[in-house]
Amino acid sequence: MNKLTIKNIGVGLFFVLALQSCKLTQDYARPELNMPTAFEDSLVTNDSSVVEIPSYQQFFKDEKLIGIINQVMVNNPDLIIATEHILANEALLKSVKLNYLPDINLQMNASVQRLSKNSMMGSLASNTVMQEYNFSSSVSWDVDFWGKLKMQREEALSNYLSQAENRRALRVQLIAQTAQAYYNLLSLDEQLRITQSVEKSMQETLSLLKVQYAVGDVTSIAIKQSEAQLAETRALIPEINASIKAQENALQILAGSYPAAVDRKNSLREVAFSSMLNVGIPTDLLKNRPDVKQQELLLQAASTRVGIVKTAFYPSLTITGQGGLNTIKASNWFSIPASLFGTAAAGLTQPIFNKRNIKSNYEQALHLREASVHQFRKSVLMAVEEVSTSLNAIDNIKIQIKELKNRKLVMDKAIADAQILYKYGEANYLEVLTVQQSYFQTELAESLASQKEINAYIALYKSLGGN
């Protein structure tokens, strides 16, 4: 190789290295979101530094619920599947991280060819049997002209991290789903207890009416009405039991177990949470919500993809080389240095015409990036909406529970008075039946309101990003 050729190659490599410093795309910048400055609700704190959400072990007070959630975190099939997807992406990421290195291959070939004596080559050759033995290594290196390989690594990392956030979002969803199912189960237990208590009271009323009917104080209509009301109440018991079993089975499925009974507390009225939630400014959601972080990572990947596709408009340089041992006789295969050979080549490729494929791919990447921008903004909108809705629900449920407690106090006294008045003939059976029905409805309404309040706090925990 003469000095002029070496000089030309050196100039070419200097030109290539200079081009590597060029950037085809700008650094990622988060789109303008125009988020509100604050939430206008009672749980909002004035401390703008509230960004940490307690873990479920710290947030929930019920140890049995925490135990069930622990099982879900280990055995839930969807969570296991998501973990495997992350590991698969991690394997791909390890490969992409090394894409700047050359490809090196080692090969060994042996071939024998017999030419036909009647062929043109066979008639000219002195030996119609031709042999070739080759042992060589080859190197191929794509020179990163425009930072394409670096952008591919950045894209792969963003996609990998988005998968991790997707798993975290699934984890938070499962925590909320498990907690809601657990407290729904406690609510059903409470409804069953209330129904059985009211059934007992109605049975006592019916027994008293039968005694009065025997002495002619009431008519058979009173007996029939009381029996109908009692039957209606009793019909609710198997329905509630079926709902309890279905909820237990659903909880076991979440924990990756077959249907079975669920060990749980005996009362819905115990304190459900060990710590309260303080809601900071709306921008805290960008730090806590895994779905928002996932969409931003996907946006970063889409932005990087634009740069990767754009590099196809520009020249690419590939350097290849091969060297090893080559001979036409097996006996001389490893005869060194006679059998040594080597080749080196460099190719510069500039696309000219390719049926508009490059331009179409670039336009597609631009539109997909814009779609990712809007998807990110949508995720932020939904996050703010969910927090605001949960806060509003909690405020209104508290008002509802306060009124239901006042109503229950009145109904507790009313049912006690009605039974006494009826026993002494100061009230008729219709008044007693009406009071019993109202008392039953009040008890159920209070139980359902308590369940709603707990579920609203769980929904707020989830909407803040959980942990």
Model confidence at 365, pLDDT cuts 50, 70, 90, reads very high
- pLDDT per position as a tens digit, 74-95: 999 999 999 999 999 898 898 8
Model confidence at 6, pLDDT cuts 50, 70, 90, reads very low
pLDDT greater at residue 191 or residue 10: 191
Helix or strand (DSSP H, E) at 450: helix 429-463
CB 369 within 8 A of CB 158: no
What pLDDT does 130 receive? 85
What pLDDT does 57 receive? 93
Q: Which whole number is the average pLDDT over 245-251?
A: 96
Model confidence at 246, pLDDT cuts 50, 70, 90, reads very high
- Helix/strand number for the chain, H first, E second: 11, 4
- pLDDT per position as a tens digit, 260-270: 999 998 788 77
Query: Picking from 1-10, 127-136, 295-304, 311-320, which range would have the lowest pLDDT averaged per residue?
Result: 1-10
Model confidence at 13, pLDDT cuts 50, 70, 90, reads very low
Q: Which whole number is the average pLDDT over 203-230?
A: 87
State yes or no: pLDDT of 228 exceeds 70: yes
The strand order across the sheet containing 129-143 reads 103-114, 129-143, 316-327, 340-349
Provide long-range contacts, Cβ within 8 A and 24+ apart, for 224-227.
225/429, 225/430, 225/433, 226/202, 226/429, 226/433
User: How high does pLDDT run on average in the chain?
Assistant: 86
pTM of the full predicted structure? 0.82
State yes or no: pLDDT of 21 exceeds 60: no
Model confidence at 431, pLDDT cuts 50, 70, 90, reads confident
Q: Which residue has the tokens 């109440």?
A: 233
Model confidence at 17, pLDDT cuts 50, 70, 90, reads very low
For the chain, give the percent of residues with pLDDT over 90. Answer: 50
Q: Which pair of structure tokens corresponds to residue 443? A: 């008890």
What pLDDT does 132 receive? 92
- pLDDT per position as a tens digit, 24-66: 666 788 888 888 877 766 666 555 555 578 899 999 999 999 9
What pLDDT does 87 receive? 92
Query: Picking from 58-62, 98-102, 274-278, 416-420, which range would have the lowest pLDDT averaged per residue?
Result: 274-278
State yes or no: pLDDT of 2 exceeds 60: no
Q: Which whole number is the average pLDDT over 282-296?
A: 88
pLDDT greater at residue 175 or residue 312: 175
- pLDDT per position as a tens digit, 147-196: 888 899 999 999 999 999 999 999 999 999 999 999 999 999 999 999 99
d(CA 199, CA 255): 35
pLDDT greater at residue 27 or residue 339: 339
Q: How far is CA 93 from the centre of its chain?
A: 20
How far is CA 58 from each of CA 53, 62, 66, 67, rounded to the nearest angstrom?
A: 10, 10, 9, 13
d(CA 234, CA 236): 5
